[in-house]
Structure 1
């Protein structure tokens, strides 16, 4: 029997998919949402500025990623409700505040996502980045509105994940990677930069990204404490994929920096590939940027729109007008990129803002995990509760330190 609060699937979801298949779709949606143009820009920028010391920020990022995703995914799935609904049940109106923070952050990130895909097409084929962004937006819209759209989205991001990893393997193969230096400074940094920590965690697990996997599982009909095993499988798979890609890009950038090269501040990620493998590497970067832009566009669009939905009914206005909302969201992002240009700096700054949103969002869900009216007889693991609150406190502290030093 269907529970009253059980999420309904969208009309574009294939209802015969197994929970494991949906969990893998959620894993790659979360991972690839994190590995977008902002990810490339942030990682390359801080590697160029900090060298091997940036490994420490990546280590903290991976630890925080595990804690945050396992907490958020579990609480969402056990309750069977989206994050904004949980927030409203804790404090009436709080869900609308959370929606505003997540939606605005996701929208600005999407400008960079669409722009990144357009720049990728420019590198590959010489297409004007503005027209490339229009092409990328059209492809993203088509992926979302076709029959069984979420299945198509899942398969698309999984394919593009393979493309990203293959490209980075090639770049690492043609460079001399200072592994010993990277390991030493990762665990014993000579300098700690809070801005880099907040930005990199925010760009990986902050804002909309931390909710993309949990909301995707609900969309596929996976909920209830009996499905926690799929939460663990999906969350840890997604974290693993995103972490491997980030480490690979960091090592590639570090190899270039240690060799005495200076990254171009206007496009530090492109510099890594061009210096490492010449024009051929630069073309590879174009393909990577296109893949990153497309996957993050799909992730940010899906998750941002999901935050507008406060109803479990498939006939809710968000579900009825989902296609229109998706089209508007993507077109608005594209138009801003078209008329304003590449928001490279915005990608880094919005990553920092997402990092500042994270302690608020995580605290809301941790409070929800302790309310029987929300989770019933489910008992949230103490180690997740304790480490979750430690992440909240650390990120709040790091956010304050960042606000005191950030220069826009």
Structure 2
């Protein structure tokens, strides 16, 4: 029998492919979570709560950890997308989940367009409504052009690195009270459930919960044999998101602690931009505007495309062409809603995070049901009891936080 002339070539190739898929999934999750909503929510709550917001960040990271570990692992083990898994476990629940995720994705996209408007306002002084409209058209053009899309992907990586460097610089220059922040991370003076619900929703709510897991599924990284890699990928994504949120919090905290008051509710309010301008001057403001706009543009495309991936639960034979057209329509509808609202863009970005935080418990409840009662869907795999216990506690906590937060979250629409 002839031997393979290059023994081990296929395993190495698969390992490289798996690493590439994991990096892509981590990047997708992190960039989805570190969008205009993430930036504006952090600046808004740091401005209003000061160092006490540090506890909210810690709580959000811990909740993110439990949610993503469970979702990524169960999607990998069952080899099913979230709505398909939900229907298999509880008939009809997948359709309900899809409706809520698509609706949540629509609100996310309205906020993303608002964020793009804020970005162009900081970059060029353009009116936020005109900036949002122009950005939505640019997003449609990028999505419709594969060549432009590939170029933007590379540009966004560069902008992401610029954002990290600029945020770290501002955190250093603004000289935040680090000791007080560390104390209140574990011993807060006050706890605000609406704040935690909002930043959890902005980081891991709605479609973001499933974006990375579905990406791995599409790339063939699934099954028990890949469980360790999937778990490490989820942890890496959470770590990147958590670190960025804390550094951004310190950057804004330094500005706020110096006595600067940030506008968080006016029609042209852009609290994060104000903080960056104060710490890094006019150049810092313009660079921040470019980064915010870039993050918003990719979030507009990503939220629309990922949200519409859930429509396959209603009809299996949805072609790529139909989904692509639907993505364009989704962006247009998001723009129309944004233009019709009188809510300040910054307040809108906070609201959409909160709304998706209210949606989060529904999907998590279904996944916990699968973990406790449907080992058959996971090929008989004995799911770790400690993860199920943590997941169930987190699920109950998110329901409670949602109940306590409904009023304050919807109040942002009146700003």
Normalised by the length of structure 1, the TM-score is 0.88
Distance of 2:345 and 2:174 partners within structure 1: 30
Structure 1 partner of 2:356: 354
**For residues 103-122 of structure 1, what are the structure 2 equivalents within 5 Å?**
103-122=102-121
Structure 1 partner of 2:86: 87
The answer to which structure has the higher helix fraction is 2
Q: Deviations over 1:232-282 (max 9, x none)?
A: 232122112211211111001110111111111232222211221232222
Rate the CA distance shift 1:301–1:159 in 2: closer, same or farther, 3 A: farther
Distance of 1:74 and 1:32 partners within structure 2: 20
| Aligned CA-pair RMSD | 2.5
Higher alpha-carbon deviation: 153-162 or 190-199 = 153-162
1:297 corresponds to 2:300: yes
Distance of 2:272 and 2:234 partners within structure 1: 27
After TM superposition, give the deviation of residue 155 of structure 1 in Å: 4.7
Assess if the C-alpha contact under 8 Å between 1:84 and 1:307 holds in 2: yes
Rate the CA distance shift 1:153–1:17 in 2: closer, same or farther, 3 A: farther
Larger radius of gyration: 2
Structure 1 partner of 2:330: 329
Structure 1 partner of 2:286: 283
Structure 2 partner of 1:77: 76
Helix, strand or coil: the match of 1:255?
helix
Structure 2 partner of 1:8: none
Distance of 1:231 and 1:351 partners within structure 2: 26
Assess if the C-alpha contact under 8 Å between 1:77 and 1:222 holds in 2: yes
Rate the CA distance shift 1:221–1:157 in 2: closer, same or farther, 3 A: farther
Rate the CA distance shift 1:217–1:293 in 2: closer, same or farther, 3 A: same
After TM superposition, give the deviation of residue 145 of structure 1 in Å: 4.0
**For residues 121-136 of structure 1, what are the structure 2 equivalents within 5 Å?**
121-136=120-135
Higher alpha-carbon deviation: 291-300 or 121-130 = 121-130
Distance of 1:124 and 1:90 partners within structure 2: 48
Assess if the C-alpha contact under 8 Å between 2:375 and 2:382 holds in 1: no
Rate the CA distance shift 1:371–1:40 in 2: closer, same or farther, 3 A: same
Q: Deviations over 1:181-240 (max 9, x none)?
A: 110111111111111111111111111111111112122232222222331232122112
Distance of 1:89 and 1:109 partners within structure 2: 28
Structure 2 partner of 1:386: 389
Structure 2 partner of 1:38: 37
Structure 1 partner of 2:3: none
Distance of 1:304 and 1:327 partners within structure 2: 12
Assess if the C-alpha contact under 8 Å between 1:24 and 1:237 holds in 2: no
Uncovered stretches (5+) of structure 2, i.e. residues with no partner = 1-13
Structure 2 partner of 1:4: none
After TM superposition, give the deviation of residue 54 of structure 1 in Å: 0.4
After TM superposition, give the deviation of residue 165 of structure 1 in Å: 0.9
Rate the CA distance shift 1:78–1:151 in 2: closer, same or farther, 3 A: farther
Rate the CA distance shift 1:37–1:278 in 2: closer, same or farther, 3 A: same
Structure 2 partner of 1:250: 249
Matching residue within 367, 375, 379 for 1:376:
379
